[in-house]
Structure 1
Amino acid sequence: MGHTTGGPDSAKRRLRRELLAVRNALPADDLREAAAALARHALDLPELAGASTVAAYVSVGGEPGTLALLEALRARGVRVLLPALLPDDDLDWGAYEGEGSLARVRHGGRMALFEPSGERLGPDAVTDADVVLLPGLAVDARGMRLGRGGGSYDRVLARLARSGSRASLVVLLYDGEVVERVPEEPHDAPVHAVVTPSGVRRFS
């Protein structure tokens, strides 16, 4: 029986590779349908119904699409904050003013991100959010989220915890990315809910 060595970190890397391979193989039609369904379910969340400020992100590549959701939130009069990656991998924030307010930014050799082109509000702006929509690759039955491994959102979550924020943490995923268990490290904290194209699942 092959026993694999390595802690949560190598297990996370392996799981990330597998999940990204599935995402990258999704046809464009599936991506479009998933984005529309995701927006519908997310907009039904009571947390979002009562939110005046939502921190979100612009999906890239095979990520579950967020643009329809961003537009719908903006149409509701919600203040939507979007991240801008800083050189040290922390996140600054700017307001979403519609699709025309997004700039395509390439950070080194990584894939290009869409970031808000307007005024930068500083890394602490996220602490104003009532709901924080998080990217991820998986979430497990306990609400533990597997991120992409860049560490940017670990900093955001730490900042929220330090500020005493009561923000609801919601991760946006595909149905197959809700798994039994993801490897965790001591600093990992659970999210409150996951939204997928087939609905919402809450964690206590």
Structure 2
Amino acid sequence: MRAAKRALRDRILAARERRDLLDHTASAGGFADGAYRAPELQRATTVACYVAIGSEPGTGPLLERLRRDGKRVLLPVLKADNDLDWAEYDGPESLGYGRFGLMEPTGPRLGVDAIAEADAVLVPGLAVSERGFRLGRGGGSYDRALARVPADAFTAVIVNPEEVGAAVPVEPHDRPVRAAVTVNALHRY
């Protein structure tokens, strides 16, 4: 199982690295449009999201749109044990570098259970299956965080269109999401 996940991760990461930088940058606004196709996100007052880095689908325009719409935005702070603490996002100037080059909010930490306050949770992933199981980077951070999210919260993974419908190996600890956000599209499970 772990070897299958590792092979799929390697294949997707290599494909992401081959993406044209201009295409990658231009598509970031499309992910915001795709996310806003969900009425649950439009109605949400608190949204947990993340700051994309490297070849991850861009979240910058989405974060700014959420703020502009008056939503409280929570971003993760990676802890030493790979669990996720949370802090509020107050714009790009409120970010600093964390472990592994991650961009994290520099404000007060709210604790690992703060994600339970979110009406909508948008998480990173490398791929998502037809049943909503996402493939992460292998640290288990988001599976732990998703376990703290109330059952009625809207959860979605942000991926490139070609990463939807992948044959993602599933382990007992894996948590499914309700949707996948791609450029200008929302796929429900």
Same fold (TM over 0.5): yes
Q: What SS does the corresponding residue of 2:54 show, helix, strand or coil? A: coil
Q: Whole-Å Cα distance in 1 between the matches of residues 34 and 126 of structure 2?
A: 19
2:28 partner amino acid: A
Q: TM-score, normalised by structure 2?
A: 0.96
1:191 aligned to 163, 177, 188, which one? 177
1:152-192 CA-to-partner distances (Å, cap 9, x unmatched) read 111102222xxx44211100000110134211012223210
Partner of 2:165: 179
Alpha-carbon distance in 2 for matches of 1:55, 1:68: 15
SS at match of 1:159: coil
Count of paired positions: 189
- The CA deviation at 1:45 is 1.5
Partners of 2:109 and 2:173 lie apart in 1 by 28
1:119 aligns with 2:108: yes
**2:5 — aligned with what?**
12
Secondary structure (helix, strand or coil) at the match of 2:148 reads helix
Residue 151 (structure 1) aligned with residue 144 (structure 2): no
Match of residue 89, structure 1, among 82, 96, 111:
82
Equivalent residue for 2:71? 78
State yes or no: 1:166 paired with 2:160.
no
Gaps of 5+ in 2: none
Higher RCO (CA < 8 A, seq sep 6+): 2
- Residue 67, structure 1, aligned to residue 60, structure 2: yes
Q: Is the 8 A contact 2:147 2:175 kept in 1?
A: no
For the aligned residue pairs, the C-alpha RMSD in angstroms reads: 1.1
- Structure 1 residue runs of 5 or longer lacking an equivalent are 1-7
What amino acid sits opposite 1:122 in the alignment?
A: G
**Matching of residue 40 in structure 1 with residue 29 in structure 2:** no
* Paired position in structure 1 for 2:130: 141
Code of the aligned partner of 2:91 = G
* Partner SS for 1:179: coil
Letter in 1 for 2:21: A
Using the alignment, how far apart are the partners of 1:188 and 1:135 within structure 2? 14
Distance 1:179 1:66 in 2: 21
Indicate the structure (1 or 2) with the bigger Cα radius of gyration.
1
**Greater mean deviation of Cα atoms: 78-87 or 179-188:** 179-188
Q: Aligned residues: percent identity?
A: 51
The alpha-carbon deviation at position 69 of structure 1 amounts to 0.1
CA contact (8 A) 1:127 1:165 kept: no
SS in 1 for 2:104: strand
